Amino acid sequence: MEELKQAVIDGQVAKARQLAEETVSLGVQPTVVFSDALSPAMEEVGRRMQAGDYFIPEVLVSAKAMKAAAEILKPLIAQSGATRSRGKVVMGTVRGDLHDIGKNLVIMMLEGAGFEVADLGTDVPPERFVAATRELRPQIIGMSAMLTTTMLQMPKVVTALQAEGLRSQVRIMVGGAPLNQSFADEIGADGFGMDSTAAVELAKAWVPAE
């Protein structure tokens, strides 16, 4: 398990996949592999990124290794009927904005922390956030914007959720280069994440592990 954790931290994709296979073939519960190796590995990756030791390339490759291992575990978890998801998050980059990477990093880190994430992609209009909220019943909606102009799409999503009577059912987190806490407060979001680690911290605080 320790070796698997290290392989994810080091971004060794093939090794992580192989170690995940070996670990479950030894009879370790896949949910335990997840909680004791993959999640702590991604937490460490997040710590290193916040400390300024890891940058996006390192994080992406770690996330790739985490996913490779998770691909081995997921079907086994589904077979056993156990639920692994800590909570559901709907994520998207707002209308007019095609910036993908910041949002993807948050998704990878959320998945690492055990959340199930529905990615609506980029250039997402308010009505798609509303439809996804109605359909998937997430606890959290995450919105990303990289531009001072597109960030102004965010309050439109908040208003649309209010108009549909869905606002009270979800917590809203926002993030992206031009944003700050006061903008998040101003538009009536529940939280602002300066980076992907901060976003995951918010999500964890909102949806505590059972």
Partner 1 sequence: MSVNPNFDRVRKALLLQGEPDRVPMLETSIDRDIKKAVLGRPVSTPEDEVEFWMRAGFDHVPVGIGMRLMVRTASNKAEAAIRIDHAEKVTRTARAQYSLLGDEMRERAWAEEGTGIIAGRAEFESIKWPSQEAVDYAAIEDLGRILPPGAKVVASIGYIFATVTRLMGFQNFCEKLIEEPDLVARVFDKVGQFQLAVFEKVVAMDAVGATVHHDDVAYASGPMVSPVQLRKYLWPWYKEMCRISREKGKPIVYHSDGNVNRVLDDIVETGFNALNPLEPKVMDIVQVKRDYGDKLALVGNIDLVYTLTRGTPEEVDAEVRQRIRELAPGGGYVVASANSITEYVPVANFNAMREAVFKYGKYPIQV
Please give the residue ranges that form the binding site for partner 1 (CB under 8 A): 11, 52, 55-58, 60-61, 64, 95-102, 104, 122-123, 147-150, 152-153, 177-178, 180, 194-195
Distance of closest approach, residue 203 Cβ to partner 1, in angstroms: 18
Distance CA 175, CA 199 (A): 8
Q: Which is nearer to partner 1, 50 or 139 (CB)?
A: 50
Which sign does the torsion angle of CA 192, 104, 78, 15 carry? negative
Cβ burial, residue 152 (10 Å; 0-12/13-18/19+): middle
Q: Closer CB to partner 1, residue 115 or residue 183?
A: 183
Whether residue 88 contacts residue 115, with contact meaning beta carbons closer than 8 Å, is answered with yes
Please answer whether residues 104 and 140 qualify as being in contact, where contact means their C-beta atoms are separated by less than 8 angstroms.
no
Smallest distance from partner 1 to CB 97, Å: 7
Task: Give 105 or 117: the residue with its C-beta nearer to partner 1.
Answer: 105
82 versus 177: smaller Cβ distance to partner 1: 177
From the CB of 115, what's the least distance to partner 1, in Å? 21
